[in-house]
Structure 1
Amino acid sequence: MFESIVVGVDGSEASEKAIRIACDLAQKYKAGLHLVHSPQPETAVYATAAVAGFPAVAEMPTQEELDQAGEEVMKLALATAAEAGQPDVQTHMLRGDPADQLIDCAERVGADLIVTGRRGLGNLAGIVLGSTSQRIAHHAKCAVLTVV
């Protein structure tokens, strides 16, 4: 049923669940597995911007800092896949909008399935633009599984 599975990873708990489910499916169907991460500067800024309950002015991370953070996220994703019995995976570190990058990568590798986690952040951008998982579900040309 599935020959190639793409998983969006971002270091969240939902992402870890998505990896584990994708590994299970990849083993069941003997499918190739691709871990995709697109580091976002907002994540680093939001993580460090609150001081004593007040937002602080934070500098946007440099590209080098983003790349380093992305490598750490990918290392954790690879460890999760190995723990789930799927040590042989392809990794893709991409720049740009996560939804667009996941969809493009899925098309490039001929994926039959995209697996994503849903963090449910519910911020204003999510309301206006739609969450990453929603956008993938609406625009992907293959099956999409959203893990909560």
Structure 2
Amino acid sequence: MFEKIVVGIDGSPQSEHALRMACDLAQKYSSELHLVHTPQPQTVAFAMGAVAGYHAAMAMPSLEEVEVACEKIVSSAKAIAEECNQKITQTHTEPGDPADHIIACAESCGADLIITGRRGLGSIGSLLQGSTSQRVNHLAKCACLSVVE
């Protein structure tokens, strides 16, 4: 049913939950798993363990800090997949808009399903910050699953 599954990851608990769901489905359907992570300064806090006061900092993280966070997020995701007895077929990491990269990856690999985590920001929060899962669901040409923790 699902030969190729694309999973958007950002280091958040919600994306970890989405990855676990993807691993469960991949095991059931013998699917390939493709991870997409778009390094963002905002995700550095998740990768670095949400250091107290980080969100209140005035300076944005350096490019090096963003790259280190990216590596940590991807390594953590691979460890989760391994823990679930799954192998990641391919990892895609490019800076830019997360929704655009998730959709582009799904189209280029011929995915049957995209899975993303949803933070549940609500209508005002998603209006102000945008919602990757909402945008993916709207623009994708394949089935989508938004996982709420």
TM-score of the superposition, structure 1-length normalised? Answer: 0.86
Superposed CA deviations along residues 5-47 of structure 1, whole A, max 9, x for unmatched, are: 0001111111111111111111111111101111111333795
On the 8 A contact 1:17/1:147 being kept in 2, the answer is yes
Q: Call closer, same or farther: CA 1:60–1:3 in 2, change over 3 Å.
A: same
Q: Alignment identity in percent?
A: 57
Aligned to 2:115: 115
2:87, 2:43 → 1: CA distance?
28
User: Which deviates more from structure 2 when the two are superposed, residues 118-127 or residues 138-147?
Assistant: 118-127
1:36 correspondence with 2:36: yes
Consecutive unaligned residues of structure 1, counting only runs of 5 or more, are none
Aligned to 2:82: 82
Consecutive unaligned residues of structure 2, counting only runs of 5 or more, are none
**1:1-148 maps to which residues of 2 (within 5 A)?**
1-44=1-44, 50=53, 55-57=56-58, 59-122=59-122, 126-128=126-128, 130-148=130-148
What one-letter code is carried by the residue in structure 2 that aligns with 1:16? E
Q: Call closer, same or farther: CA 1:11–1:129 in 2, change over 3 Å.
A: closer
What one-letter code is carried by the residue in structure 2 that aligns with 1:18? A
Q: Call closer, same or farther: CA 1:104–1:88 in 2, change over 3 Å.
A: closer
1:89 Cα deviation after fit: 3.0
